Amino acid sequence: MRTAKRIEKLPPYLFAEIDRKVAEAKARGADIISFGVGDPDLPTPQHVVEALADAARDAATHRYPSYTGMPEFRRAIADWYERRFGVSLDPDTQIQPLVGSKEGIFHLPVAFIDPGDVALIPDPGYPVYETGTILSHGEPELLALTAENDFKPDLDALDEQTLERARVLWLNYPSNPTAACVGLDFFTTAVEFCRRHDLLLCHDAAYTEITYDGFVAPSALQVPGALDCAIEFHSLSKTYNMTGWRIGWVAGATEAIEAIKRLKTNIDSGIFDAVQRAGIAALEGPQDDLLATIETYRHRRDLLCDGLKSMGVIVEPPRGSIYLWVPVPEGHNSESFTTYLLDQADIVVAPGNGYGPSGEGFVRFSLTLADDRLEEGVERLRKIVT
């Protein structure tokens, strides 16, 4: 059997490889502590679960949902944007619900990238920006994110030849995997850049609601003129601990949203209406659980940062996301240190180079594990990291 050539271009998906290594270690009886995949261990808020249960009992939710999402859910998203960012969106023309934001991120290049077109992609960054581009026969142009530049891309370094072929610019703040955060001034610069070069700015905003120490993450759509050239992907996954529910959205420029809508009518049949009703409950209901989630992650962040500091590994506590981006010790690269932790301490982390070549020299720790397991992980690290 011969597979399509486009599949041959794809690397193994990073998190699938992590899962495989964990399974192998567990098979040999290891007590694995995983700082790998960013899958929240905290439960979905109870009122959201109850909203789903009530909706699932309603036979009206059992039929095909709308391709464009429930009007009530789109209105809830628009109202949330108004409350949270002061951004006014038309729920009919500027919002499209998604089967989780990953689905929309992956399919975006199908609507905007022709063969030979370029997508500007952060490096390191969420791998799906690149794989979606590859499967659309586009060409990824990786934008190196370095500590020296606060993990922001140097847009001025792009040459005119590349910019002539570029169609989209991907951004992600708070960042996965670097945990870097930016202010509205950075998005202002990015919007101006995209308008000047006729690019679609695609901001992956999955972590804007998980921030610490008084920092409030902005939306790219807050910039004047952004609704002419920018879209933003959001997800309920990290905000409300709903990774398994597969519900998110994309919002922004009307022309871009229309293209995505046309694409989705040919790809899927929408989100189960009961899940959308639960999404409404999440956005419109009490936010106490979100505040508790943020405090839990802040506490874990501090535990891990303090533990690493006691070993001589200094990591500036991030102001957002659920990750720590940690330099590997001298004498190691990303892969060797990841293997070392697994072999010597039964600890799983994500190798930085799995997010792009500029991730070499780092590993990513996720904060999505209970305090006692995190503390045990720190003790195991202390025994082997010098």
Task: Check pLDDT > 90 for residue 4.
Answer: no
Task: Check pLDDT > 70 for residue 15.
Answer: no
CATH 3.40.1260.10 correct for 46-284: no
The predicted pLDDT at position 22 comes to: 78
Q: What is the mean pLDDT of residues 144-158?
A: 97
Task: Check pLDDT > 90 for residue 5.
Answer: no
Rounded percentage of the chain residues whose pLDDT exceeds 70: 99
Q: What is the mean pLDDT of residues 184-189?
A: 98
The predicted pLDDT at position 8 comes to: 75
Sequence-separated (6 or more) residues with CB below 8 Å from residue 236: 242, 245, 247, 248, 279, 282, 283
Q: Tell me what the pLDDT averaged over the chain comes to.
A: 95
Domain ranges of the chain: 5-43+288-384, 46-284
362 — phi, psi (to 5°)? -135, 160
- Residue with structure tokens 């891309």? 153
The predicted pLDDT at position 28 comes to: 84
CATH value of 5-43+288-384 in 3.30.390.10, 3.40.718.10, 3.90.1150.10, 3.10.129.10 = 3.90.1150.10
Give pLDDT tens digits for 20-62.
777 888 888 889 999 988 999 999 999 999 999 999 999 999 9
Task: Check pLDDT > 70 for residue 386.
Answer: no
Give pLDDT tens digits for 104-127.
999 999 999 999 999 999 999 999
Q: 308-313 contacts: CB < 8 A, separation 24 or more? A: 308/378, 308/381, 310/382, 311/381, 311/382, 311/385, 311/386, 312/386, 313/385
Q: What is the mean pLDDT of residues 172-187?
A: 98
370 — phi, psi (to 5°)? -60, 155
The predicted pLDDT at position 315 comes to: 94
pTM of structure: 0.95
